[in-house]
């Protein structure tokens, strides 16, 4: 798609029905993101997500047999060594993933090479790394300082050299995201990184107003999903209280 100049839309999927309706829209790349820790499981950040939780959600998503490429995140602490990275990537593949994603560049280049050598397609993730939120003390835009720009270029090169088929760029300044996109042969998929990436990814619940208690600044929700669900449920509650709400009878 990058070669053809076609933009690559991607969205996160966490369960069976969501995967079915997303796949019916024709989105070509679905990610079982460890963002599920926050928007599905109610954790404060993604560092608490376990392999067992990822496998559970990947299995549910895979049961929908999406036409989209199905990628899944290696959660925090599961790819500290090449051996652990391959073992856990294989577990996600056994659960139904067709590719895995992990956060970092040069720091995980050996792990990436080992995953790719094991025959598992790998997608990188650079810029703001949610799994490092505790070390970094928050979610910060990356690429403003020259040292950060240079580090991002070196990390992107390392991912390509290690065999990554693409990379997510999260909260990278738009000029640096554009520079990275021109520099690497593989597609860049941006999130909060401006318009000049090869594709864009969002947390689906952010897009459809499904997690209204926090919406990242760069997201424009396309509907107020939770407000519509509250209205539907509220209408039914009122009906039941008035003695109805039992559904249609024959």
State yes or no: residue 33 binds ligand KIV (CB under 6 A): yes
Closest CA to 29 of 125, 130, 108, 123: 123
Residue from 70, 167, 201, 205 binding ligand KIV (CB under 6 A): 201
State the maximum Cα–Cα separation within the chain, in Å, rounded to a whole number. Answer: 70
Phi, psi of 167 (to 5 degrees): -155, 140
Interatomic CA distance for residues 156 and 109, integer angstroms: 10
Interatomic CA distance for residues 88 and 215, integer angstroms: 31
State yes or no: residue 12 binds ligand KIV (CB under 6 A): yes
Nearest residue (CB) to ligand KIV, 58 versus 244: 58
136 is catalytic: no
Closest CA to 127 of 138, 112, 142, 137: 142
Using the Cα atoms of residue 181, residue 193, residue 85 and residue 110 in order, give the sign of their dihedral.
positive
State yes or no: residue 38 binds ligand KIV (CB under 6 A): no
Total number of residues binding ligand KIV (CB under 6 A)? 12
State yes or no: residue 168 binds ligand KIV (CB under 6 A): yes
- Per annotation, catalytic residue among 55, 103, 170, 179: 170
Q: Which stretch binds ligand KIV (CB under 6 A): 33-41, 112-120, 154-162, 210-218?
A: 33-41
Nearest residue (CB) to ligand KIV, 12 versus 78: 12
Task: Return the residues of window 114-133 that contact ligand KIV according to CB under 6 A.
Answer: 125
Closest CA to 71 of 150, 187, 213: 187
Whether residue 74 contacts residue 102, with contact meaning beta carbons closer than 8 Å, is answered with yes
State yes or no: residue 35 binds ligand KIV (CB under 6 A): yes
Nearest residue (CB) to ligand KIV, 114 versus 191: 191
Phi, psi of 31 (to 5 degrees): -120, 125
Catalytic residues: 170
- Residues in the site for ligand KIV, rule: CB under 6 A? 12, 31, 33-35, 73, 125, 168, 170, 191, 201, 203
């Amino acid at each position: 798609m990058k070669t053809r100049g076609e933009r690559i839309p991607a969205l996160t999927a966490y369960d069976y029905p969501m995967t079915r309706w997303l796949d019916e829209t024709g989105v070509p790349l679905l990610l079982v993101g460890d963002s599920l820790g926050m928007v599905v499981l109610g954790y404060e950040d993604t560092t608490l997500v376990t392999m067992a939780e990822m496998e559970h959600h990947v299995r549910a998503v895979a049961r929908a047999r999406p036409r989209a490429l199905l990628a899944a995140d290696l959660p925090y602490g599961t790819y500290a060594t090449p051996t652990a990275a391959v073992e856990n990537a294989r577990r996600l593949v056994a659960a139904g993933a067709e590719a895995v994603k992990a956060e970092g560049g040069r720091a995980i280049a050996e792990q990436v090479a080992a995953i790719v050598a094991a025959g598992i397609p790998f997608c990188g993730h650079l810029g703001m790394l949610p799994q490092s939120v505790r070390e970094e003390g928050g979610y910060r835009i990356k690429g403003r300082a020259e040292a950060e720009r240079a580090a991002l270029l070196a990390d992107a090169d390392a991912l390509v050299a290690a065999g990554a088929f693409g990379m997510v760029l999260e909260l990278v300044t738009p000029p640096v995201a554009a520079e990275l996109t021109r520099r690497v042969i593989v597609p860049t998929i941006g999130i909060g990184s401006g318009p000049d990436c090869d594709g864009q990814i969002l947390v689906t619940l952010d897009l459809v107003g499904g997690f209204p208690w926090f919406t990242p600044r760069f997201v424009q929700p396309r509907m107020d999903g939770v407000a519509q669900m509250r209205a539907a449920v509220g209408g039914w509650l009122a009906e039941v209280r008035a003695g109805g709400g039992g559904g249609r009878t024959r």
